[in-house]
Amino acid sequence: MMANLREPYAASSLASLAWSETQEKAIDRVAASGRASTLGVALWKARYMLEADAYLLARSLLRLMYIKRYRSDSLLVVDAFVNQALIEFTATPCVECNGTGERMVDDHLLICNVCSGSRLRRYSDQERARCMRLSYAITQAFGYKLRWLLETMQSEDAAVNRQMNIELERVVVIDSPVMGD
């Protein structure tokens, strides 16, 4: 006969789903991400948690958004632009600032002029054309579409980050000595 493990598990600290003002738990992150958009969460997981399934979901959602907005583009162009946008969104950090978004000039901290604070590597139209296997003329003419995709992805990512900060905010009480004690 199999032992009933429900009672020992329920009594353990592992089973506690109670909210704690000082400790963030996995259930807190799940609940916080549940209040964000599906695309935002997929992009967030693809970029920061490197989840392959999330990357594929983000790709399919972005593909649908692109097709809805730019109906006349061929599927080859759609796939090329969506793939390039995802590559740039999850890409290596800026070479100039090493992904910090800031640079020290003399004794002043300034926003990186190469990546404009985005922390990501910037691609030229020539590099994009080569990566997407499209002509330079198409890449240059449709650059605004790629910028739209990247801006959409950045705003979705920012929305998830805002939601996570709101939901996961913890009140930290610092005991300070009372003067005169």
Residue 2 domain-assigned?
no
Three-class DSSP category at 70: coil
Sign of CA dihedral 79, 84, 90, 91: positive
Range of the domain at 66: 25-165
Position 1 scores a pLDDT of 46
Position 78 scores a pLDDT of 94
Q: How many domains does the chain have?
A: 1
Interaxial angle between packed helices 52-69 and 75-89, expressed in degrees from 0 to 180 and rounded to the nearest 10: 130
Give pLDDT tens digits along the chain (181 positions): 445 555 554 555 555 555 555 555 555 555 556 667 889 889 988 888 888 999 999 999 999 999 999 998 899 999 999 999 999 888 778 888 888 888 888 888 888 888 888 787 888 889 999 999 999 999 999 999 999 999 999 899 888 888 777 766 654 445 545 544 4
Position 30 scores a pLDDT of 57
Residue 139's contacts (CB-CB under 8 Å, 6 or more residues apart) are 125, 128, 129, 132
Residue 173 domain-assigned?
no
The answer to whether 117 touches 100, Cβ cutoff 8 Å, is no
Residue 9 domain-assigned?
no
In degrees rounded to 5, what are phi and psi of residue 175? -75, 115
Position 68 scores a pLDDT of 95
Residue 63 domain-assigned?
yes
**Residue pointed to by tokens 């990186």:** 112
Residue 174 domain-assigned?
no
Q: Determine the residue type at 120.
A: L
Residue 42 domain-assigned?
yes
Three-class DSSP category at 93: strand
Position 171 scores a pLDDT of 46
Position 41 scores a pLDDT of 87
Three-class DSSP category at 175: coil
Residue 95 domain-assigned?
yes
Residue 110's contacts (CB-CB under 8 Å, 6 or more residues apart) are 102, 103, 104
Residue 8 domain-assigned?
no
**DSSP letter string, 100-151:** SSEEEETTEEEE-TTTTT--B----HHHHHHHHT--HHHHHHTHHHHHHHHH
Position 172 scores a pLDDT of 47
- Specify which residues 109 forms β-bridges with: 104
